A and B are shown apart, each in its own frame.
Chain A
Amino acid sequence: MPEGIFGWKGKVLEIDLSSGRIAAEPLDESLRTNYLGGRGLNARRLYDLLAPGLDPFSEENVVLFTTGPMAGTLAPGNARLSVAAKTFEKIHLGISNVGGRFGPELKFAGYDQILIRGKADSPVYLWIDDGKVELRSATHLWGKDTWETEALIQEELGARNVQIGSIGPAGENLTRYACIIFNLHRAAGETGLGAILGSKNLKAIAVRGTQPVEVADAEALVRYSKELIQRIVKNDFYSLIADYGTLPGATFYDMMGYLAVKNYGQAGDWEGTEKIGAVQIAKYFRKPVACFGCPIHCSHHFRITEGPFKGEEGAKPEFSTTQVPFGACLGVDDPEALLKFLNVANRLGINTREFPYILSVAMDWYENGILTIEDTDGIALEWGNVDAVLKMMEKGARREGFGEVIADGSEAAARRIGKGAERFVSSCRGVQCGGEEVKVLIGTALNYVTATIPAHVEEGMPIVEIKGLDAQEALSKFGTDDLDPLSYNKARVTAYYQDLCLACDILGVCKFFTEWTGQEMSFQELARLFETSTGIPADGDSIRRASHRVRNVERAFLVREGITRSDDVLTGKVTEPIPKGQRVGLTLDRERFRKLCDEYYLLRGWDVATGIPLPATLCDLGLEDIARDLERSKLKGQS
C-alpha cells in the first residue's frame, strides 16, 4: 500500500471567531485511529477541550463539524456529518448528525473536521472554498430564515454548487429547540445546537470542495460497496422506504398502541391517524430525493397544488419529524398542514421533535385551564388548531409573547407558570418526551434514559421489539428470543443496537443501512468499508470496541458535569398510567425497570449505584487518563 493518510484527509480546520484566526491543523493520528471519525472524534475533542461546568453560551465553547473516514466515496450512506458542542443543562453534551451533501463536500474541500471556538463581534458566516477560507459579514442575513439565507449566500458567492448549513431565527434567539438546517430540508436537529451557533454569532457555513478523496484500496472499496448496494436494494425494507420514507410507521404505531397521542393522553387508536397515513402524505410526493452516495433515497420532494397552502414545496416529511410530533402529538389530522409545519420549522430552524412536544404540553395546559387565552397572546391553544401551531412556531422561534415562555423548554415553562403545570411535563434529563408510548416499549424506554442524547430513538431504540426477529438470530445475539415490547428482558438487545447506532455516527454512515432497521449492514460490514477506505485492519469486534470507547468518553463527559444514575430517569406525565386508548391503566413497573437498568449498567461496566464508568472499564478501552480524571473528581466531591 502506498504511503500517506487514506480515507481521512488528516486535516482539521480551526476557526477562532473572536480573533478571526483561521488555521488548518493536522488531525492527530492517535485520535483518528482510536475514535475513527464523526461523533467519536467530536466526543474526545470536547472532553479534552472543555472544562466541566462551562456555560454553553460562553466564548470558550467549541462547535465541531466532523465527517467520517468513508465520506465522499462510494461506501453506502456515507454522507452523515456529526455536529457537537457543549449544550443546555442536563443534556450537556450536544450531539446531532445530518445527511445531505455537506459532509462529503467538506471532505472534498480537504478537511475531516471544522473546529469553531470564540464568538464573533457581529454576525458572520464561514466560507470554505477548498484551501481558501474566510469569515464574511452576515449582518444582512441575521433575522432571515434558513431558506432565504441559503439563497442569499449562493447569490453572493455566485455559485449554486455550494453546500450550506445555517441557523434560522430560533438559533439566533438561543431557543433550546434550535437546530442547524443543511440543504434546506435536513437538520442537525437534536440538543439545541442551533442556539450554540447563535450564541457565537455564526449564521452559516458554506463549503465547496474540488479535491479528491483517496482511499487505501479503491478497487476493494468499490467492489464491496457495489456488492452491498445490491444486497441493500434487494432487502424487503428497501422498497417501502424508497417509496414512503418512514411514513408507514404512524399507522402501525397507532394500531399497536405505541403512539402517544396529545401529550400522552392516549396510546394509539387516534381517529386522525388514517387521514395522515403514508398514502395520504405520499399523494403530494413528486420525486424521491437522496443524500450523497445513497441508494435508498428515503426523502421525497413534495408540492401542494391547491388549498390554503398551495405552492408549498419541500422535502423529507417523516414519521418521527412530521406525522407523529406535529400530527398525533398536536392532534392535527390535515396532511397539508403537516407539510406546511415541516417547511416552517425548517425555515425557522426549529427541531421538529422537541418543539411540537413542548407545544403539546402547552395545549394540555390550555385544555386543563392552567393556561388561558390571555396567557397565550389571544391564541386558542386547542388540539388540532393549525393556525395556532403556525403562530406559535413563529413566536417560539423569536421569543415573542408566549414564545418567550416556552423558548427554554417545558420544564422552565412549567416553573414559570406554576399552578401545578409541571405535572404535565414529561422529562428525560430535561428533554421533553413525546410521540412514543414508552410504557409499552420497554427497550425504547431503557434507551431513552441511558443514551447520551436523552429520549432519542435514533440512539438505538431496539426496533426489533416492535418488528420482531428470527428466534435463532435473537438467541445467538441477545441470549434470549423474548423480544416482546412489554418484556423487561431488554438490556442486551438495547445495548447491542445502541452500539450499532453509535458506530454509525462515528463512521458517518446512515443507520438506515443497518440491521437496526432490518437492512443489511452491521459491525462487520462497517469494518470492511472502514478497512478498505483507511487501510487500517478492522473487524466487527474492533468497530464495536471503538463504539464502546466513544460511549464511555461521552458518559465520562456527562459524569464530569454531574450526571449520575439518578438523572437517568423518566419523570412526569409519561410515567402515569395510560389514560385512554389501548392498554388503559398500564404503567411502567418501576421495580422491574430498576432491575433492567441494573442489568444494563452491569453490562456496560458502569457502577450500578451511580452509573459512573468503572476504572477497569475505562482502562480496558485505553482510557486510563479519563479513569484518573473521574477518580480525582470523585475525591474532590468527597472532600
Chain B
Amino acid sequence: MCEMACSVAKTGKFSSRSSRVWIETDGRIGKDLPHVCRQNVKACRAPGSPLPRCMAACPLLLEPDPPISWDETSGVVQLRPRRSCPECLACAEACRFGAIRIDPAEGRLVKCDLCGGDPECVKVCVTEAIRHERGQDHA
C-alpha cells in the first residue's frame, strides 16, 4: 500500500516501480526488506566523510547547484536530477539501501523527499511499519 500511495502522489499513477519506497519480499523466510532513503543517518555516511554516500559519490558535488544536496532545515537529501545531473547513477550505486532508483515511467532518477514532511506512505500504513520520526542518529 505504501508503494501505491507514494507512486500516485508523485506521478498521478499507480506503480510499484515508480514508488520512492519499495518493499522486497522473500516469502521463503517470511522477510520484507524495505528500501527507502534514510535521509543522511550515520549509517549513510561514506567512510571518513561527513557526507552520505550518495552525495559523496556525486561527481558534480562541488559544482554550483549540485543535483544532490542535503537540506538542513527539512533534514531531506534532495535529488534534482533534471537540473545539472548527467544521470551517471553513481549516487544510486553508492546507496546501501537501494533508495535511489530510476522511475521507468518518467525515465529519471527519483528518491524519497518525505513529501515535504508529511509522507503519504506513512498515512496508509495501518500496521505502523513505516513511521516518520527523527532518529537519534540523525545529524
Interface residues of A (CB under 8 A from B): 72-74, 101, 104, 108, 147, 151, 160-161, 183-185, 209-215, 218, 222, 226, 229, 233, 286-289, 293-295, 297, 301-303, 313, 315
Docked CA distance A302–B4 (Å): 27
Task: Say whether A73 contacts B1, CB under 8 Å.
Answer: no
Chain B residue nearest in CB terms to A151: B28
Among B9, B14, B25, B123, residue most surrounded by chain A Cβ atoms (within 10 Å): B14
> What's the interface size class on B, roughly?
20 to 34
Known contacts A74-B124, A210-B104, A295-B126; is A184 also within 8 Å of B28 by CB?
yes
Task: Say whether B104 contacts A211, CB under 8 Å.
Answer: yes
Chain A residue nearest in CB terms to B22: A161
Determine if B69 is an interface residue (Cβ-Cβ < 8 Å).
no
Docked CA distance A281–B24 (Å): 27
Interchain residue pairs with CB less than 8 A apart (19)? A72-B4, A73-B8, A73-B14, A74-B8, A104-B16, A160-B26, A161-B24, A183-B27, A210-B105, A211-B105, A213-B13, A215-B13, A215-B14, A218-B12, A218-B14, A229-B1, A233-B126, A295-B1, A303-B30
B39: which A residues are within 8 A, CB to CB?
none
Task: Say whether A160 contacts B14, CB under 8 Å.
Answer: no
Task: Say whether A74 contacts B28, CB under 8 Å.
Answer: no
Docked CA distance A303–B4 (Å): 30
Task: Say whether A293 contacts B4, CB under 8 Å.
Answer: yes
Task: Say whether A313 contacts B14, CB under 8 Å.
Answer: no
Determine if B40 is an interface residue (Cβ-Cβ < 8 Å).
no
Docked CA distance A297–B123 (Å): 17
Q: Which 3 A-B pairs have the closest CB atoms?
A: A301-B30, A212-B13, A212-B15
Known contacts A185-B27, A229-B124; is A108 also within 8 Å of B15 by CB?
yes
Q: A108-B16, A185-B27, A218-B8 are in contact. List 20 more A-B contacts (CB 8 A).
A: A72-B4, A72-B15, A73-B4, A74-B1, A74-B8, A108-B15, A161-B24, A184-B28, A210-B15, A210-B104, A210-B105, A211-B15, A212-B7, A212-B105, A213-B13, A214-B13, A215-B14, A218-B14, A289-B30, A313-B28
Determine if B84 is an interface residue (Cβ-Cβ < 8 Å).
no
Nearest CB in chain B: distance from A192 CB, A: 24
Determine if B74 is an interface residue (Cβ-Cβ < 8 Å).
no
Docked CA distance A302–B28 (Å): 10
Which B residues between 70 and 122 are near A, CB-CB below 8 angstroms?
Answer: 104-105
Nearest CB in chain B: distance from A605 CB, A: 38
Docked CA distance A286–B13 (Å): 34
Docked CA distance A297–B129 (Å): 13
A214: which B residues are within 8 A, CB to CB?
13-14
Chain B residue nearest in CB terms to A75: B4
Task: Say whether A315 contacts B27, CB under 8 Å.
Answer: yes
Task: Say whether B14 contacts A229, CB under 8 Å.
Answer: no
B105: which A residues are within 8 A, CB to CB?
210-212
Chain B residue nearest in CB terms to A222: B8
Docked CA distance A347–B95 (Å): 37
Task: Say whether B124 contacts A286, CB under 8 Å.
Answer: no
Task: Say whether A108 contacts B28, CB under 8 Å.
Answer: no
Determine if B49 is an interface residue (Cβ-Cβ < 8 Å).
no
Chain A residue nearest in CB terms to B17: A210
Known contacts A74-B1, A226-B123, A229-B126; is A212 also within 8 Å of B14 by CB?
yes
Nearest CB in chain B: distance from A378 CB, A: 34
A185: which B residues are within 8 A, CB to CB?
27
Task: Say whether A222 contacts B15, CB under 8 Å.
Answer: no
Nearest CB in chain B: distance from A37 CB, A: 16
Docked CA distance A215–B24 (Å): 25
Chain A residue nearest in CB terms to B25: A101
Determine if B5 is an interface residue (Cβ-Cβ < 8 Å).
yes
Determine if B62 is an interface residue (Cβ-Cβ < 8 Å).
no
Nearest CB in chain B: distance from A415 CB, A: 40
Docked CA distance A104–B19 (Å): 15
Task: Say whether A147 contacts B14, CB under 8 Å.
Answer: no
Scan B20-51; emit 1 where CB is below 8 A from any A CB, else 0.
00001111111100000000000000000000
Docked CA distance A218–B13 (Å): 7
Known contacts A210-B15, A211-B104, A229-B126; is A147 also within 8 Å of B28 by CB?
yes
Chain A residue nearest in CB terms to B125: A295
Docked CA distance A73–B29 (Å): 27
Nearest CB in chain A: distance from B11 CB, A: 7
Chain A residue nearest in CB terms to B104: A210
B127: which A residues are within 8 A, CB to CB?
288, 295, 297
Nearest CB in chain B: distance from A218 CB, A: 5
A108: which B residues are within 8 A, CB to CB?
15-17
Nearest CB in chain B: distance from A289 CB, A: 7
